Amino acid sequence: MKFIHTADWHLGKIVHGVHMTEDQRHVLWQLIDVIEEEKPDALVIAGDLYDRSVPPTEAVELLDEILLTINVKMKTPIVAISGNHDSAERLSFGSSWYRHSQLYIEGKLSEDLAPVNVGGVNFYCVPYAEPGIVRQVLGDDGIHSHQDAMREITSRIEQNLNPNEPNVFVGHAFVLGGQTSDSERVLSVGGSGCVQANLFDAFDYTALGHLHSPDALKHPKVHYSGSLLKYSFSEAKQNKSLSIVEMNSDGSFDLRYHPLKPLYDLRELEGYMDELLDPHFYQAQQVEDYLKVTLLDDGAVLDPMNRLRQIYPNILHLERKWDLSDNRRKQSFSSIRDEKKSELDLFETFYAEMTERDFDGSKRAVMTSVIEKVKKEEEVK
Amino acid sequence: MKFIHTADWHLGKIVHGVHMTEDQRHVLWQLIDVIEEEKPDALVIAGDLYDRSVPPTEAVELLDEILLTINVKMKTPIVAISGNHDSAERLSFGSSWYRHSQLYIEGKLSEDLAPVNVGGVNFYCVPYAEPGIVRQVLGDDGIHSHQDAMREITSRIEQNLNPNEPNVFVGHAFVLGGQTSDSERVLSVGGSGCVQANLFDAFDYTALGHLHSPDALKHPKVHYSGSLLKYSFSEAKQNKSLSIVEMNSDGSFDLRYHPLKPLYDLRELEGYMDELLDPHFYQAQQVEDYLKVTLLDDGAVLDPMNRLRQIYPNILHLERKWDLSDNRRKQSFSSIRDEKKSELDLFETFYAEMTERDFDGSKRAVMTSVIEKVKKEEEVK
């Protein structure tokens, strides 16, 4: 039995002001190609289909298009759960009708933790839910943390689980040991958002969503698929792929990754202004990529964003190297507002902010004469 | 062949700050009872299922509950279109799956104006669309008004229509001759929002939504079902009902109305304060109804809303009879802000606002002495 594991589509996502709909459509059609080629028995989507509870209509239309193609036209069963970015209620709408064609969307957690059987594998689908919701749905006042909630859910499932059949857990959670990136929303403070990987020991494979890298967790049986695309610069070096799982009837499996090729890569670029604007340099670049550019120049640079955008239209973020190199300077810059300083002192601070160089005696002499000249002109007026 | 025609559910509607979800659930379960009893071959919902494009989750859950009961559990085919309050894209989501069980939701207008055949009747489902959208979808630059749009739609349908079968048009429009009420959103100025009833001559029955009264249009073959509930005080005297249509194979039909009983009626109540607070009066009333109260008292009335709410908890609106009787007074009241008037003049204006009585010489004398006394006390301080 073969299934494809994916998660964290985040349809409707806006990255630094750019709508990702076309980028998402581009890789989702790669998913469709892979399904055409691999002919899996099921597609598993482990939460965060949408980026927010009320997604834009373009995202709603894209999800309809993709699910329709895979499920209705290609007749591939789909098992999906809602993640913390989805609205459980909105994603649940219509799910009773979808079951006809083996589209199983578990939007809301229910007390009945029965599995969906597809191709001989039991899929236990557990949508994301806050501990307070799990406490209410399961009627267990002892549930306070995500760890409590998941422990109770998995132990209830284990009571009815048939260990002689292959069992897959589909969940959306921050499993301990995983590495986070900027675009995963902070769930709660102090680690209570985490759950331990050993809770899933009873399952042959655990298909997770939430962390955006397929390498977020090193575990033989518990796996993140990673997100569809790089959704923040902290993900710039991550692999984005589909997990293809071939599962044997004893629950053992073979896992391989199919890389996803984005319409435009999202990456970091570092260099001097002259270098970045040099045709020999940029003609070897994918100039339309989504870029975070770090300028290495230490002097004043005039209008860098507009000049760079002539060549690199999709720069999402621009920063200067020296902004980062000395945090102390920023502090001194903000603190001067509260003090009485001479014009010369103020300029010296400003010069230090803008350059890496010393404000030496000759520069000080020039600046002093300039300031005196200006002051005299003002007195004349 | 029998079908029930309903429209304008407006799930998620808030009337004067009150969420109508439970009121809507109450009458929708009456619809289910009627379906149980009448066993119709189809239910027709002629638009405005939701009150707004992003309905609250309670409304989404209510629609899921009701459609699931009628369509999946009771196996009654449903034909529905979106109205001007619905989001065409959001309501369309999943419609390809719904067709399995004869739930036909036409959210977005498509060029293909093919009917849905249920029980031998052709239902031509035309969702609400702005003229600009119709122009684009049909590729006809001559479409500018709703009349243009509907004329083009109906004439295209007529080209393929089989007049030997019963044909029903399902639409959401302001058909000329209908009477509007406050809760029907104004579509456009100058009558271009209207369409003429004769456009539907080719159809045996036209099932309309948009106007909230089943009596909005007097026409032998073109009918509004009216809304589920009274959604504004301008609808206080309207009938709310389901239209039950028994159609013969030659297209002739019998139409009867099944009244809907609201959880709380929405009505207007007029009286003097003393009368409204008299147990002999209010014990004969449904005090929990949604009320617009008009007070007949002409003197000052202290804190009337709070006192009335002790008896009538669901007053939505309170006004005084004299507020309405003399608009000129309001104008004079607002104009005084711009003028320099003596305290005595200001009080006289106020007295005239608050009562129907003359501010005669003796009253003027009393007020003059009060003002003088206050002024002296202020000088002492």
Residue of B nearest to A98 (CA): B97
- Contacts of A309 by beta carbon, 8 Å cutoff, 6+ apart: A315
CB contacts of B94 in chain A (<8 Å) are 64, 93-94, 97-98
Least confident residue range of A178-192, B211-225, B273-287, B320-334: A178-192
Query: Per the CB < 8 Å rule, is B89 touching A63?
Result: no
Is the confidence at residue A335, as pLDDT, over 70? no
Query: Per the CB < 8 Å rule, is A97 touching B101?
Result: yes
Q: How far is it, in rounded angstroms, from Cα B329 to Cα B192?
A: 37
pLDDT of residue B185: 43
What mean pLDDT is predicted for residues B85-101? Answer: 94
Distances (CA, A) of A6 to A137, B289, B293: 27, 52, 58
Is the Cβ of B69 closer than 8 Å to some Cβ of chain A? Answer: no
Last residue of a domain, one of B259, B293, B316: B259
Closest chain B C-alpha to A35 CA, distance in angstroms: 20
- Statement to judge: residues B227 and B207 lie in one domain: yes
Closest chain A C-alpha to B64 CA, distance in angstroms: 6
pLDDT of residue A182: 53
Which ipTM was obtained for this model?
A: 0.75
pLDDT of residue A105: 97
Query: Per the CB < 8 Å rule, is B60 touching A89?
Result: yes
Closest chain A C-alpha to B54 CA, distance in angstroms: 8
Q: At A297, phi and psi to the nearest 5?
A: -55, 140
Is the Cβ of A346 closer than 8 Å to some Cβ of chain B? Answer: no
What mean pLDDT is predicted for residues B196-217? Answer: 95
pLDDT of residue B18: 93
pLDDT of residue A191: 54
CB contacts of B92 in chain A (<8 Å) are 61, 64
Is the confidence at residue B216, as pLDDT, over 80? yes
Distances (CA, A) of A100 to A47, A65, A75, A170, A262: 21, 18, 11, 21, 33
Which of B57, B90, B94 is facing A97, going by the closest CB pair?
Answer: B94
pLDDT of residue B360: 81
Is the Cβ of B280 closer than 8 Å to some Cβ of chain A? Answer: no
Neighbours of B332 (CB within 10 A): 12
Closest chain B C-alpha to A199 CA, distance in angstroms: 32
In this structure, is the dihedral angle defined by the CA atoms of residues A289, A292, A297 and A301, taken in order, positive or negative?
Answer: positive
Is the confidence at residue B190, as pLDDT, over 60? no
Neighbours of B76 (CB within 10 A): 25
Residue A298 binned pLDDT confidence (cut-offs 50, 70, 90)? confident
Tokens (6 digits) for B123: 């239902």
pLDDT tens digits along A181-236 = 555 544 444 456 899 999 999 999 999 999 999 999 999 999 999 999 999 999 99
Least confident residue range of A26-40, B166-180, B193-207, B226-240: B166-180
- Statement to judge: residues B203 and B54 lie in one domain: yes
Is the Cβ of A97 closer than 8 Å to some Cβ of chain B? Answer: yes
Query: Per the CB < 8 Å rule, is A94 touching B93?
Result: yes
Which of B60, B72, B100 is facing A90, going by the closest CB pair?
Answer: B60
Residues in chain B: 381
Is the confidence at residue B373, as pLDDT, over 90? no
**Residue whose entry in the numeric block shows the structure tokens 């309809």:** A64
Mutation site, B52, B96, B100, B104, interface A, largest A CB count within 10 A: B96
Residues 103-162 of A with CB under 8 A from B: 103
Q: How far is it, in rounded angstroms, from Cα B233 to Cα B265?
A: 11
Is the confidence at residue B362, as pLDDT, over 70? yes
pLDDT of residue B353: 62
Least confident residue range of A202-216, A232-246, A348-362: A348-362
Residue of A nearest to B87 (CA): A57
Closest chain B C-alpha to A103 CA, distance in angstroms: 9
Residue A368 binned pLDDT confidence (cut-offs 50, 70, 90)? confident
CB contacts of A103 in chain B (<8 Å) are 97
What mean pLDDT is predicted for residues B364-368? Answer: 83
Residue A380 binned pLDDT confidence (cut-offs 50, 70, 90)? low
Closest chain B C-alpha to A324 CA, distance in angstroms: 43
Which H or E run contains A169?
Answer: strand A167-172
pLDDT of residue B329: 47
Is the confidence at residue A326, as pLDDT, over 80? no
Angle in degrees, CA A54, A56, A61, rounded to 5: 110
Residue A334 binned pLDDT confidence (cut-offs 50, 70, 90)? very low
Query: Per the CB < 8 Å rule, is B97 touching A72?
Result: yes
Is the Cβ of B254 closer than 8 Å to some Cβ of chain A? Answer: no
Last residue of a domain, one of B259, B276, B292: B259
pLDDT tens digits along B117-145 = 999 999 999 999 999 999 999 999 999 99
- Statement to judge: residues A297 and A160 lie in one domain: no
Query: How would you list the strands of the sheet with A205-209, edge to edge?
Result: A116-118, A121-126, A167-172, A205-209, A222-224
Query: Per the CB < 8 Å rule, is B64 touching A94?
Result: yes
- Statement to judge: residues B228 and B240 lie in one domain: yes
Residue A178 binned pLDDT confidence (cut-offs 50, 70, 90)? very low
pLDDT of residue B142: 94
Domain that includes residue A274, residue range: 266-322
Is the confidence at residue A372, as pLDDT, over 90? no
- Statement to judge: residues B169 and B22 lie in one domain: yes
pLDDT of residue B182: 54
Is the confidence at residue B338, as pLDDT, over 50? no
- Statement to judge: residues A207 and A339 lie in one domain: no
Closest chain B C-alpha to A311 CA, distance in angstroms: 36
Which of A54, A60, A103 is facing B93, going by the closest CB pair?
Answer: A60
pLDDT tens digits along B21-56 = 999 999 999 999 999 999 999 999 999 999 999 999
Residue of B nearest to A64 (CA): B93
Tokens (6 digits) for A98: 């979808």
For chain A, the average pLDDT equals 89
Q: Supply the CATH number for residue B157's domain.
A: 3.60.21.10
Closest chain A C-alpha to B284 CA, distance in angstroms: 42
% of residues, chain A, pLDDT over 70? 88
- Statement to judge: residues A65 and A12 lie in one domain: yes
Number of structural domains found in chain A: 3
pLDDT of residue B356: 61
What mean pLDDT is predicted for residues A336-357? Answer: 66
pLDDT of residue A323: 57
Query: Per the CB < 8 Å rule, is A92 touching B68?
Result: no
Query: Per the CB < 8 Å rule, is B98 touching A94?
Result: yes
Number of A–B residue contacts, CB under 8 Å: 57
pLDDT tens digits along A257-278 = 999 999 999 999 999 999 999 9
Is the Cβ of A90 closer than 8 Å to some Cβ of chain B? Answer: yes
Tokens (6 digits) for B366: 């009393």
Is the Cβ of A54 closer than 8 Å to some Cβ of chain B? Answer: yes
Query: Per the CB < 8 Å rule, is B92 touching A64?
Result: yes
- Statement to judge: residues A232 and A305 lie in one domain: no
Instruction: Please choose, from the candidates B30, B35, B110, B112, the residue with its C-alpha nearest in 3D space to the C-alpha of residue B78.
Output: B35
- Statement to judge: residues B87 and B154 lie in one domain: yes
Query: Per the CB < 8 Å rule, is A103 touching B96?
Result: no
Last residue of a domain, one of A322, A337, A356: A322
What mean pLDDT is predicted for residues B319-327? Answer: 67
For chain B, the average pLDDT equals 89
CB contacts of A96 in chain B (<8 Å) are 64, 68, 72
Query: Per the CB < 8 Å rule, is A64 touching B94?
Result: yes
Query: Per the CB < 8 Å rule, is A60 touching B89?
Result: yes
Residue of B nearest to A102 (CA): B97
- Statement to judge: residues B348 and B303 lie in one domain: no
Tokens (6 digits) for A119: 């191709």
Is the confidence at residue B374, as pLDDT, over 80? no
- Statement to judge: residues B336 and B307 lie in one domain: no
DSSP B187: -
Is the Cβ of A64 closer than 8 Å to some Cβ of chain B? Answer: yes
Distances (CA, A) of B199 to B76, B134, B148, B149, B186: 30, 16, 10, 11, 22
Q: SS3 letters for B87-117?
A: CHHHHHCCHHHHHHHCEEEECCCCCCCCCEE
Distances (CA, A) of A26 to A60, A62, A175, A228: 16, 11, 29, 10
- Statement to judge: residues B242 and B170 lie in one domain: yes
